[in-house]
Amino acid sequence: MMDEIAGGRTTGRAGAIGLRLRSSVAAAVLALGLAPTGAAWSQDKMMATVGRVGNVDELVTMDKVCGTKPIRVALVDGFGGNSWRRITRAEYEDEAKKCPNIKEVLYADGQNNPQKTISDIQSLVAQGVEAIVVFPDAGPAMLPAIRAAHKAGVAIVAYTASPGGKPGVDYLDFVAPNTPSDGSTWAKWVAKTLNGQGKVVFLGGTPGNLQSQAELEGIKKVFADFPKIELLGGGPVDTNWDPAETQKVVSGLLTRYPQIDAIISDYGGGSVGGIRAFINAKHPLVPWAANDANEFACLWQENKAANPNYQMMTVSSRTWLVRVALRKAVAKAEGVDDPEPSIVNQPIVEDSTDPKLPPKCDSSLPPDAIFSSQLPPDKLKAVFAQ
């Protein structure tokens, strides 16, 4: 059974469209601290990894944690209106279907309203839902409700956005990508593609967000070994993770800087606006590193012939991380071990310079479809057919 809940009511309707808000994952690194690879500690006499950094090859399959007790699970979204959230919800529902003992699969859209998200969590706890995964868009404002759920015995896992507090104490765990590692991965590729010299722009998100700041640290660490690479402006250029805003910002950068040799962006879907700015300015396209999105790859395919220096690389957009969070919550509710890492190093999924990782474009799917999703093609298409 898959239902959307709102303040404790099963509504069966789609959530309202919200503004895109890519929440910070860097708090896991900057505020909470990360345990080194291999670290784990006992939690209620059950060996469960909390805060461990690891790789995708250390992840397990859902059948390893299903258990046998009938339970209900829920995904609480701070908002659920954009395509990334829709794909994530489909991944969560797909993963939950793999356990026959999961009797209800619930979903709550906070509609970009922190108070509603808090109410959704409280309602689910009152209903006795055993396992909850939450994307706490509002950050620390969500911590009291999340902590109360944890104290009530609910297996509650935050993912992608940190609510503050301490994993393993205030909630079961925090699942997120290794954000500084993303910055390092992009920077290494750019340095190699530019042969160690050139002027680079880093496009970030909202002003002061911790995600872009953590990525910047990874970028700077790599570029420190390449004195002939200059990071223009010294830090992330704010784009609000919005394609239209990104187009305006990049247009301004092209006017301000006569030489831009490469772009790093922490939002592939927003990068398409920047690419259009280059095209409109009749400026040759340059190497571009981001995370994967259908239109990002399609634009590369459309423009690569006329732009010989134009290459692209992406890391995963990690909609599948919700599966990891769900497995951790279910394992706890079932009393089953789950040795998976909490902070996951992201793989490169596309690289136009590597014949083994060609960019993926499917014009039959919407521009913001994500191919690093673990949904089968038919289920990915079904997300956008709704």
Confidence of residue 195 (pLDDT cuts 50, 70, 90): very high
Q: What is the dihedral of CA 212, 214, 219, 221, to 10 degrees?
A: 160
| Bigger pLDDT: 91 vs 378 | 91
Q: Which two tokens stand for residue 12?
A: 């069966």
The H-assigned helical ranges of 154-201 are 179-193
Domain boundaries, position 28? 2-177+318-346
Predicted pLDDT at 3: 58
Query: Are residues 254 and 264 both part of a single domain?
Result: yes
Same domain, 34 and 80: yes
Q: Which of 119, 131, 127 is nearest to 73 (CA)?
A: 131
Residue length, the chain? 386
Residue 379, both tokens: 């289920």
CA-based radius of gyration for the chain? 21
Residue type, 68: T
pLDDT at residue 310 is higher than 60: yes
d(CA 30, CA 28): 6
Residue 24: its H or E element = none
**Is 194 found in the same domain as 283?**
yes
Q: Are residues 54 and 159 in the same domain?
A: yes
Do 330 and 306 reside in the same domain of the chain? no
In-domain check, residue 383: no
Task: Indicate which CATH number applies to the domain containing 76.
Answer: 3.40.50.2300
Total number of domains constituting the chain: 2
HSE-up of residue 72 (Cα within 13 Å, Cβ side): 14
Residues 54 and 102 in one domain: yes
Query: Is 373 within the bounds of a domain?
Result: no
Summarize the chain as % helix, strand, coil (round to 5).
35, 20, 45
Q: What is the pLDDT of residues 331-360, one digit of tens each?
A: 999 999 999 999 999 889 999 999 999 999
Co-location of 44 and 131 in the same domain: yes
**Sequence-distant (≥ 6) Cβ neighbours of residue 198 within 8 angstroms:** 228, 229, 230, 261, 262
The reported pTM is 0.79
Statement: residue 292 has pLDDT above 80: yes
The answer to whether position 306 is within a domain reads: yes
> Once rounded to an integer, what is the mean pLDDT over residues 351-376?
92
307 and 329 together in one domain = no
Q: What are the pLDDT digits (tens) for 75-117?
A: 999 888 778 889 999 999 999 999 999 999 999 999 889 999 9
49 to each of 38, 43, 112, 175, 181, how far by Cα in Å? 9, 9, 31, 11, 20
